[in-house]
Amino acid sequence: MEKISLGYQSLAATFRYKVEEGMWRIGEPIPSEASLAKEYGVAVGTIRQAVAQLADEGVLVKRHGKSTAVSSGLNGQSMLRFFRHQLDGQRQLAPSAMVLDLKEIAIDKNIAKLTGWSCKTLLKIHRVRLVDGNPLLYEMIYLPLPKFKKFLGYTPKDFEDLFYPMYARSCGVAVIKAKDQVGFELMKKADAKVLSMKEGHPAVRVNRIAFDLTGKPVEYRSSVGDAMAFQYSAEVN
Amino acid sequence: MEKISLGYQSLAATFRYKVEEGMWRIGEPIPSEASLAKEYGVAVGTIRQAVAQLADEGVLVKRHGKSTAVSSGLNGQSMLRFFRHQLDGQRQLAPSAMVLDLKEIAIDKNIAKLTGWSCKTLLKIHRVRLVDGNPLLYEMIYLPLPKFKKFLGYTPKDFEDLFYPMYARSCGVAVIKAKDQVGFELMKKADAKVLSMKEGHPAVRVNRIAFDLTGKPVEYRSSVGDAMAFQYSAEVN
DNA sequence: GAGTGGTCTAGACCACATC
DNA sequence: ATGTGGTCTAGACCACTCA
C-alpha cells in the first residue's frame, strides 16, 4: 500500500471516504490525532488541519478532552420553530407529530430531477405536525428506497416525533445539511382538509432537500401550512 | 503600554477593535502576519489563528499572495434573487432599482427595539426594485442618522442600484451579515399602488436587519412583494 | 525577485474528561 | 493518572501576486 497522498486536503478526502464507506461509523469516535499522525506518517498539525475541515463541514464533531466523533446529524427540530405561535402567556408549547400514512410509490420524475436519485421506488410518508394538538403543518416526506427499506415494515405509531435522529439510528443516515425553498400558494383541498382549513386559504409551502454526511440528497420533503401563522427566519452571510 | 493579552482569542479581539476604531480601515490591507507576529511578540502561527477566526466571521478577507484586508462587505444582490422570474426563453434579466423618496423621521419605537439603536432620528428611504421595468419589490429602508448623515444631501437619482457597496464607499459601513424574517400578509393599499397590484392581494414581507463588521445593526429594511411570484431559498446547517 | 499568505514539522505545555 | 483535543513555538519550504 503506497501512499500517494500529499497534504491535509488529501487527508480530509481520505477521512471523508472512511465515513462514506462506514469504516468510521456515524456517532462513533475516530482514532486520536496522535495515532492518525503516526498511521499516515505526518505531523499532528497536519492531521488537525484535515480534521478541522471536516468538523467545519459538519462531518466530524470535536469534543475537547474526549475523542472526535463522526456526526450523528441535525436533530430535526428545524422545521416547526419557523411558525409563530400565539403566545398564551408563559404557557409551554407541546409540539408533536403524527404519521398518517406510508406507502411505497414509483419515483416521481420531478423529485428524481431535484435530488438526482436513480432508484426506482420511494417511501412516501404523510404526517402532520401539531402544537398543543392543533395541526400546523402537513408534510409529505419522500425517502429513496433501498436506503430506507427498514421503514417499510413500520406502522404509523412506530415513528418518532423527530425524524432525523431516527434516520441515523434506524437507517445509518445522518442529515447534516438541508436546503429550503419557501413559496406561497392557495391551499389545495386535500391539504386544507388535513389542516382543518378552507380550500383556497393562503398557504406557505416549504420544499426541502436534506443532505447526509457525504453531501448526497437523502430526503425530499414538502410541507404546507397556514401562511398567516407562518414566519421563516434565516441568516445571510 | 503593557500587554495583558494571552492567546489568539485576545489577539482576535484586539484586531476586531482595530477594525471598529477605524485604525484598520474597510477595504484596506492589514499588516503582514510576520510583522504582526513581531509587533505582538508571538509566533506567526498564533497570528494566523487570530486572523483565520476573523476571516471566518467575514471581518477580514485573506488573499493568497497579496495582503489580508478588512472586508468591504456584501454586494447586496441578495434580495432580488429570491424572486422567481418567469423565464422568457434565455432572455437576460435587467434588474434595477429606483429611489422614490427619502426623509428624516423620528425613530420608530418598534425599530428601536429590534435594532437597539439609541439615536433620535432615522433616514427613511422608499425604493422600488424592478426587473425589466416591472416593479417587483417595494422597500422601506431605515438608517440610523448620525452614521448615514451623508445621504441627507442626496437626491433620489444620486443612489445606486446596490446599496451595500454604497454604504461602504460613502459612509464607511460594511455590511457583512443580515437576518431575514419572511412572513405573509395581505397587501396594503399604499404598497399595492406602488407595485401596480390590488389591495388585499397575497403579499410576502421580508424584514431584514443588517449588521456591520462589528456585529452592530446598521440597517433595518422591510420589503413587500407579490407572494405568488416569490420564492425564498436558504440553507440549514 | 521580493513580499505575501499556505502548508508542514517536531516538538512543548495546557485544559478537559474519565477512570 | 492517563488520554484526548487546544494552544503555541520557531523554524522550513511552497505557491501566489506583482513590480
Distances, alpha carbon B92 to alpha carbons B80, B86, B133, B162, B226, in Å: 15, 11, 13, 19, 21
Distances, alpha carbon A25 to alpha carbons A21, A175, A213, B41, in Å: 9, 14, 11, 43
Q: Give the tens place of pLDDT for each residue, A12-52.
A: 999 999 999 999 999 999 999 999 999 999 999 999 999 99
Closest-CA distance, A55 to chain B, in angstroms, reads: 12
Structural domains in chain B plus CATH codes: 7-70 (1.10.10.10), 80-229 (3.40.1410.10)
Nucleic strand C contact set for A 54-113 (CB, < 7 Å): 63-66
DSSP string spanning A157-207?
GG--S-HHHHHHHHH---EEEEEEEEEEEEPPHHHHHHTT--TT-EEEEEE
By CA distance, what is B235's nearest residue in A? Answer: A179
CB of A81 within 8 Å of a chain B CB? The answer is no
**pLDDT at residue number B3:** 46
| Residue pLDDT tens, chain A, 237 long | 434 567 999 999 999 999 999 999 999 999 999 999 999 999 999 999 999 999 999 999 999 999 999 999 988 766 777 777 555 555 667 788 999 999 999 999 999 999 999 999 999 999 999 988 889 999 999 999 989 999 999 999 999 999 999 999 999 999 999 999 999 999 999 999 999 999 999 999 999 999 999 999 999 999 999 999 999 999 988
User: In terms of pTM, does the model score above 0.85?
Assistant: yes
> Which nucleotide minimizes the distance between its C1' and the CA of B41?
D9
User: Cβ of B184 and A178 within 8 Å?
Assistant: no
Chosen for mutation from A184, A223, A230 (greatest number of chain B CBs closer than 10 Å) is A184
CB of A78 within 8 Å of a chain B CB? The answer is yes
Nearest beta carbon to residue A78 from set B231, B233, B236: B236
Separation in Å: D18 C1' and B65 CA: 9
Closest-CA distance, A235 to chain B, in angstroms, reads: 5
- Which secondary-structure segment (H or E) carries A135? strand A134-144
Cβ neighbors of B148 (< 8 A, separation 6 or more) are B123, B167, B171, B173
Closest-CA distance, B194 to chain A, in angstroms, reads: 21
**pLDDT at residue number A95:** 83
**pLDDT at residue number A91:** 60
Q: Give the tens place of pLDDT for each residue, B51-76.
A: 999 999 999 999 999 999 999 998 87
Q: Give the tens place of pLDDT for each residue, B166-201.
A: 999 999 999 999 999 999 999 999 999 999 999 999
